Amino acid sequence: MPSSGGTGDRVHVRFTTEKDVGITEFVNVAINRFAGTFKHRITDFQVTEIGQDGLPASLTSLQAPPLPASSSSHDLVESTANLRRLLGDEAMETLQSWVESSARGDKVELLSEPMADKAQRSELHSLIRIVFEGALESTTVENRVRIFPKKGGGNQNRQNRGQLWRDMGFDYCKFVLYKENRDTIDAVNQVCRMLHLSPKSVQVAGTKDRRGATSQWTTAFRVTADRLEKLSNNLQQIKMGNFSYCKNNLNLGDLLGNQFKIALRHVTAKSEDVEQAIDSLRTQGFINYYGLQRFGTGSVPTHEVGKLLLRSQWKEAVDLILSPKENDLPNMSLAKQKWHDERDASASLKLLPKAALAEHSILSYFSKGGSRTTDYLNAISNIPRSLRVLYAHAYQSHIWNHVASSRIKLGRELLVGDLVLDRSLPSTVESNPAEQSDDVEVVDPEGGDLADLNKNIAVRVLRTKEECDTSTIYDVVLPLPGNDITYPENLREVYQTMLERDGFDMGSRDVFNSAIKDYSLPGGYRTLLCKPTDVSWNLARFGEDSEQLILTDVDRLKANVLPHSDGANCALILNFTLPPSSYATMALREVMDVND
């Protein structure tokens, strides 16, 4: 682990390599791996989530359906449309924002355009009462209608709206969220911000990559499809569609997998070598490693922070996160140096980039002064829980990768002592809900989040050579270290050596059993190998790197077509499907050259 020599010293940190995190082996060493350019364009990497019902989250329609039948809902739709006609879209969104944010008695108001016709003003007053059901009041001021929140009216309004949704028999709008070059969390937060919703109102089954065109199922609590449609029409990198109404929301992990469409540019390999490599991937699969993005792309490997947190070394974890690094970006470098030179949290905070979430959280806590400046545990606890848990899970993944490489070196024959799936019992492999796809910037939000790991897994130990004949290498699972798992007898020493080297006693009842829930890890299981399904490929010619090679859902809605090209360059268009917890980059690594 990198360490600093003293205040202001810079830690020399090289970026994490595959070898650093145990990614060293291959399933098939005999194939000719080829080189190619990955993710040159945003549309070169496309991900479509597969829901638990087996339906892909393909964006095929942008139109909102009518509300489910009920007399009250039809009346509301008609009244809302008439109110929007009188006030306009912008004013309607303002009024809805007051209601959604429960602005009761706030000193805000809205004036309509002048209305000389008294009947028109009366209609407007009536519509406000019907649509907003007591949350807003209105009066006439010089031929204009003044609208403002009613003091104490928000609670009644929510009750009335709740009754409306109960009459319809649904509580959620389900839709496809399509995004380009946006993080899932960032996209959801923008939707919530623009509709004046709490971020908790919108749920997804997992996060998807930023650099790519991705689509996923999403639910929104008591938000009508027409509101989502109107917002979608005004967004550039985000689109929403395929709306329906349902009774239940999505939870993290509510998916069967992800479909990938990938364009690898500048492939110079022979067609027969490509065919051999892809056929090997289809039939033999790949080692189910956690990809590099699991361990962060910043200057501090997330598993190193996780190791310190699991050892309750709060000060050391803070020092590692805040130590100046030689490869820090300029603003980050200035902020960290300020902290190390002067221990002035407020001044350091002003220099820190907002994207530096962990550093910002710690310095924000320290900036409040007093005893807080040495309260390292609570400073760490000020980091959002999702990121704190990721640190701990990254350490588990680091151990898993190294053990997986050790097991592969023993060969592909089943061995006495192996752990395998017990297919006689129902189980869910790798039920960690946030591990959904691939390449994320700072840390991998898909690699470990808020729920228990693999709580439904069923495994058994192979105790005789005869039992080894009842399973295959694709049934073999390896545990992520924790306080409630079984270790394979033939690899127990490998786990023990690695854990003891990092200061953990595998035989202790206290290991990974912290009094702090976030760092009490039950452990879990992950299959050693993974086979992609629905594998297909073709070679395509292109001239310039700016040429698009794969149509997106939005392209198809617009009836766009790919340009015909007889260019000098060759690209591999590769399609496959992976289960929720597997990494596309690790599948590609099996067939492509890897440069350390």
For residue 506, give both structure tokens. Answer: 């595998």
**Edge-to-edge strand list for the sheet holding 144-149:** 110-111, 144-149, 136-141
Q: Which residues are catalytic?
A: 209
107 and 181, same domain (yes or no) = no
Specify if 143 maps to a domain. yes
Distance CA 481, CA 217 (A): 32
Does 18 map to a domain? no
Distance between CA atoms of 61 and 55, rounded to whole angstroms? Answer: 15
Do 62 and 80 lie in one domain? The reply is no
Token digits for 261? 């469409």
Q: Are residues 60 and 178 in the same domain?
A: yes
Single pTM value for the model? 0.79
Question: Do 149 and 181 have their domain in common?
Answer: no
**Among 313, 325, 370, 324, CA closest to 348:** 324
The answer on 179 and 223 residing in a single domain is yes
- Those residues of the chain that have pLDDT short of 70 are 1-14, 69-75, 100-107, 134, 152-164, 297-299, 425-456, 594-596
DSSP lists the bridge partners of residue 572 as 264, 539
pLDDT recorded at residue 74: 58
CATH of the domain at 306: 1.10.1510
Cα gap 462→131, rounded to integer Å: 65
Number of separate helices (H) and strands (E) present in the chain:
18, 18
3 state SS of 592? strand
The two tokens of residue 138 are: 């209105």
> Residue 17 half-sphere exposure, CB side, CA atoms within 13 Å?
8
Residue 595 counted as domain residue: no
The span from the CA of 312 to the CA of 20, in Å, is 23
Give the three-state DSSP class for 282.
Answer: helix
Q: Are 132 and 95 in contact (CB under 8 A)?
A: yes
d(CA 471, CA 414): 8
In terms of C-beta density within 10 A (0-12 exposed, 13-18 middle, 19 or more buried), how is residue 130 classed?
Answer: middle
Per the CB < 8 A criterion, the answer to whether 346 and 322 are in contact is no
Assess whether 92 and 57 both reside in one domain.
Answer: no
Stated length of the chain: 596
Choosing from 332, 352, 385, the residue where a domain stops is 385
Q: How far apart, in whole angstroms, are the C-alpha atoms of residue 389 and residue 447? A: 10
Segments forming the whole domain that contains residue 359: 294-385
Residue 362 within any structural domain of the chain: yes
Smallest CA-to-CA distance from 2 within 217, 347, 323, 384 is with 323
The label of the residue with tokens 């830690």 reads: 11
Residue 175 CA, chain-centre distance (Å), reads 17
Look up residue 308 and give its amino acid.
Answer: L
pLDDT of residue 510: 80
- Residues 156, 177, single domain; the answer is no
Q: Give the end of a domain, one of 111, 128, 161.
A: 161
**Are the C-beta atoms of 400 and 478 separated by less than 8 Å?**
yes
Give the Cα-Cα-Cα angle 320, 326, 328 (nearest 5 degrees). 75
387: helix, coil or strand? helix
Distance CA 414, CA 529 (A): 13
Residue 479 token pair: 């545990």
Residue with tokens 């022979």: 270
Give the burial class of 193: count Cβ atoms within 10 A of its Cβ; 0-12 exposed, 13-18 middle, 19 or more buried. exposed
Q: Is residue 289 part of a domain?
A: no
Please check whether residues 178 and 62 belong to one and the same domain: yes
Spatial contact of 104 and 151, defined as CB atoms under 8 Å apart: yes
Residue 592 placed within a domain = no
Pairing of strands 213-221, 45-51: parallel
CATH of residue 176's domain is 3.30.70.3160
Q: Which two tokens stand for residue 509?
A: 């009842």
Do 58 and 107 share a domain, yes or no?
no
Domain count, the chain: 3
Give the SS3 label for residue 28. Answer: coil
Indicate if 75 and 156 belong to the same structural domain.
Answer: yes
The answer to whether position 545 is within a domain reads no
Are 105 and 222 members of one domain? no
Q: Please check whether residue 571 lies inside any domain of the structure.
A: no
β-strand partners of 34: 592
The single-letter DSSP state of residue 455 is T
Per-residue DSSP letter, 476: B
Domain boundary among 351, 385, 419: 385
Q: CA 387, CA 443: separation in Å to the nearest integer?
A: 8
First-to-final CA distance of the chain: 19
pLDDT at position 467 is: 94
200 and 214 share one domain: yes
